[in-house]
């Protein structure tokens, strides 16, 4: 389990680095009212964007290794620490000043995740042996919720759009993690099993779709608007996959109080961050420009 935790933390660092580098690239792109694959043609000419892609690949590899050695209920919630790394890196790269509210929210989120993990103490589960009906229901519900969030996002502008798309990305990434867990379990049973597993081929479609959605979420507004959504929705959606679909076991009894308290801390911290002054105004502006306005 120690190895799983270390790999998950390193994956969070990789994901945070990727978010900051990609935001640095996408902030130069004009805002659009529709998802645009053509955006990628402009981004590929920017070296910093390729740095972000490299960080994504490294982060994904580390996450896959962590999921291969530990339950999804343990690995995915740890990724919330990505938010702290992202805020720190973005403050350096974009020359912005983080206020007490942001740091307090990050500390609250981290403490909430720790309490949630202690309360859950997940074990067991079998991604490979999960019922087909459970997989189908999970896939269908995920598609409906993400689709609704994307529609809501493109009916709004700036920070709210980034927030909606951020949550959509987080849920989609939780779905991706579930597929990775199924794929790694299949490969553990043999190379042939891994190649034949439908989860392996589903990732060929789900992975790029999530990547395009992430690019648009990053372009929609400032990083602090989109990052909380996809950082927190990812592990929270994974809880559903782990318990409902994979059959992972968690503690009951009085430990439920710790679980509820941890989840509440995460929720309150998210609300505090969402109400931050950093989310006010025209979020399509660059981080550097807004930092200048704040210090003026």
Model's pTM, two decimal places? 0.74
Whether 46 is covered by a domain: the verdict is yes
Cβ contacts of 58 within 8 Å, gap of 6 or more: 14
What separation, in Å, do the N-terminal and C-terminal C-alpha atoms of the chain show?
Answer: 49
Whether 14 is covered by a domain: the verdict is yes
Residues 235-251: tens digit of each pLDDT: 788 888 998 899 888 88
More confident residue, 183 or 40: 183
Whether 292 is covered by a domain: the verdict is no
pLDDT at 70: 86
Whether 290 is covered by a domain: the verdict is no
Percent of all residues in the chain with a pLDDT value above 70, rounded to a whole number = 83
Whether 98 is covered by a domain: the verdict is yes
Whether 291 is covered by a domain: the verdict is no
Whether 285 is covered by a domain: the verdict is no
Residues 196-231: tens digit of each pLDDT: 999 999 999 999 998 888 878 877 766 667 767 777
138 and 182 in contact (C-beta within 8 Å)?
no
pLDDT at 288: 40
pLDDT at 292: 41
Task: Give the whole-angstrom CA distance, residue 137 versus residue 269.
Answer: 30
Residues 101-125: tens digit of each pLDDT: 778 887 888 888 889 888 888 888 8
Task: Give the whole-angstrom CA distance, residue 183 versus residue 109.
Answer: 30
Q: Is the pLDDT of residue 281 over 60?
A: no
Specify the number of domains making up the chain: 1
Whether 51 is covered by a domain: the verdict is yes
Average pLDDT, the chain: 80
Q: Which residue has the tokens 């529709």?
A: 34
* Full domain range(s) for residue 198: 2-278
Q: Which residue has the tokens 């000419």?
A: 45
pLDDT at 27: 64
């Amino acid at each position: 389990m120690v190895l799983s935790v270390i790999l998950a933390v390193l994956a969070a660092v990789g994901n945070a680095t990727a978010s900051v580098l990609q935001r640095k690239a996408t902030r130069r792109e004009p805002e659009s009212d529709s998802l645009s694959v053509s955006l990628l043609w402009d981004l590929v000419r920017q070296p910093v964007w390729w740095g972000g892609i490299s960080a994504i690949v490294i982060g994904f590899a580390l996450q896959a290794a962590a999921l291969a050695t530990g339950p999804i209920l343990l690995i995915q919630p740890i990724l919330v620490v990505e938010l702290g790394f992202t805020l720190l890196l973005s403050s350096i790269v974009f020359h912005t000043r983080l206020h007490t509210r942001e740091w307090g929210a990050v500390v609250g989120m981290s403490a909430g995740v720790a309490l949630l993990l202690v309360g859950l103490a997940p074990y067991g589960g079998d991604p490979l042996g999960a019922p087909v009906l459970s997989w189908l229901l999970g896939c269908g519900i995920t598609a409906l919720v993400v689709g609704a969030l994307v529609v809501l996002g493109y009916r709004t502008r700036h920070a709210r759009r980034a927030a909606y798309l951020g949550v959509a990305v987080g849920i989609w990434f939780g779905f991706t993690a579930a597929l990775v867990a199924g794929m790694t379990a299949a490969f553990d049973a043999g190379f042939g099993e891994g190649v034949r597993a439908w989860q392996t081929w589903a990732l060929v479609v789900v992975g790029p779709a999530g990547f395009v959605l992430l690019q648009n979420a990053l372009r929609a507004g400032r990083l602090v608007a989109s990052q909380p959504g996809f950082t927190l929705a990812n592990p929270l959606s994974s809880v559903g996959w782990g318990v409902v679909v994979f059959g992972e076991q968690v503690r009951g009894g009085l430990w439920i109080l710790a679980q509820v308290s941890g989840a509440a801390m995460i929720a309150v911290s998210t609300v505090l961050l969402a109400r931050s002054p950093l989310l006010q105004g025209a979020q399509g502006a660059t981080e550097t420009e807004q930092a200048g306005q704040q210090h003026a």
